[in-house]
């Protein structure tokens, strides 16, 4: 039961980190010809421009869900590009926090329609759940406009949404190629276990380096206790004995004081990393490698890496001699 409680605590912290990763890759729509990036000045102008309907995506550039939604929002912009009534915009809440606080944006992404009916200062929030593609988003907008007798001048039937068959690739001539069943893609192979181990290690380090201080300048009190329990969970469940030893050493260092500033924490990680190299497998598992896609072995995003980490913690094979899993 104690083991399960530790893993559960770890899962909660990891999921929170996935939704709140501070790795900012910059605004999503800079340079777009169909989605207007709104700064504070543009936002204020939009509020008084009540002769147009504005649909706005309020996002944060470090949010994985926002980045996945961005290409669909670009398609929404393309759909309404020639409309004389509807304009499409976006606000990066990471850069313009005051705007998003004013709009009471508490989750990302959030979509709102402004000035419906026309000439008013009314705003309507879209329920994002179930509307992650261009077609349902446009259907919501068109339905809202119709309720108030507004016509966008666009034909929704012109939307072409290319859908790939799940787990299959479609050739240009329409033939379906089944996924490879080779050893390299076998989830039970040693090679794949090794690659997922690397992603788990990278995700753990990104969380340690970036997630513990979100919203607070000091790691103390309940936040410190939660962080300590999480690292303790890693020390018990992380794959490979040497990696668990490394995490145990980190737990011991964390216990030397009950309050850590960000500067102190960075020094702690810097001190711990050479110690981790002595026991970890592979030896560079806990090196700082950034969140670039090229640095992932299997995953392409931080969120995916966190799930790999949690999966490795909950399904670790404790059988003696099991390569990579022990």
Q: In the sheet that 110-114 helps form, which strands lie side by side, from edge to edge?
A: 36-37, 86-92, 53-59, 110-114, 123-126
DSSP assignments along 133-144, one per residue:
SHHHHHHHHHHH
Domain ranges of the chain: 2-21+187-314, 36-158
Identify the CA nearest to 312 among candidates 64, 7, 13, 20. 7
Identify the CA nearest to 27 among candidates 15, 42, 14, 8. 42
pTM of the model: 0.47
Task: Assess contact for 50 and 121: CB atoms under 8 A.
Answer: yes
150 Rama class: left (phi>0) / alpha (psi -120 to 50) / beta = beta
Low pLDDT (below 50) residues in the chain: 1-9, 12, 15, 17-24, 161-186, 317-326
CATH no. of 36-158: 3.40.30.10
Q: Which helix (H) or strand (E) holds 87?
A: strand 86-92
Task: Assess contact for 60 and 97: CB atoms under 8 A.
Answer: no
What pLDDT score does 151 carry? 94
Calculate what percentage of the chain has a pLDDT beyond 90: 44
Task: Assess contact for 183 and 226: CB atoms under 8 A.
Answer: no
């Amino acid at each position: 039961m104690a083991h399960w409680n530790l893993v559960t605590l770890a899962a909660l912290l990891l999921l929170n980190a996935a939704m709140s990763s501070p790795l900012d890759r910059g605004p999503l729509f800079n340079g777009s010809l169909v989605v207007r990036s709104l700064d504070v000045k543009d936002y204020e102008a939009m509020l008084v421009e009540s002769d147009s309907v504005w649909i706005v995506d309020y996002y944060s550039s470090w949010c994985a869900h926002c980045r996945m939604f961005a290409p669909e929002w670009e398609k929404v912009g393309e759909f309404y590009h020639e409309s004389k009534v509807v304009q499409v915009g976006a606000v990066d809440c990471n850069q313009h926090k005051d705007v998003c606080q004013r709009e009471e944006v508490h989750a990302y992404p959030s979509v709102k329609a402004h000035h419906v009916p026309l000439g008013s200062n009314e705003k309507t929030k879209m329920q994002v759940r179930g509307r992650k593609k261009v077609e349902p988003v446009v259907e919501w907008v068109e339905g809202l406009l119709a309720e108030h007798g507004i016509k966008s001048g666009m034909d929704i039937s012109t939307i072409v949404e290319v859908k790939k068959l799940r787990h299959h690739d479609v050739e240009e001539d329409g033939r379906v190629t089944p996924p490879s069943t080779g050893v390299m893609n076998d989830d039970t192979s040693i090679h794949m276990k090794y690659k997922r181990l690397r992603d788990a290690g990278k995700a753990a380090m990104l969380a340690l380096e970036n997630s513990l201080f979100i919203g607070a300048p000091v790691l103390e009190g309940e936040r410190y206790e939660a962080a300590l329990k999480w690292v303790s969970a890693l020390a018990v469940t992380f794959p490979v004995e040497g990696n668990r030893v490394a995490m145990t050493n980190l737990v011991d260092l964390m216990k030397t004081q009950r309050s850590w500033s960000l500067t102190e924490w960075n020094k702690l990680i810097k001190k711990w990393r050479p110690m981790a190299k002595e026991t970890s497998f592979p030896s560079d598992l806990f090196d700082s490698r950034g969140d670039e896609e090229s640095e992932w072995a299997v995953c392409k995003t931080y969120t995916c890496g966190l799930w790999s980490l949690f999966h490795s913690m909950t399904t670790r094979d404790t059988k003696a001699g099991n390569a990579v899993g022990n």
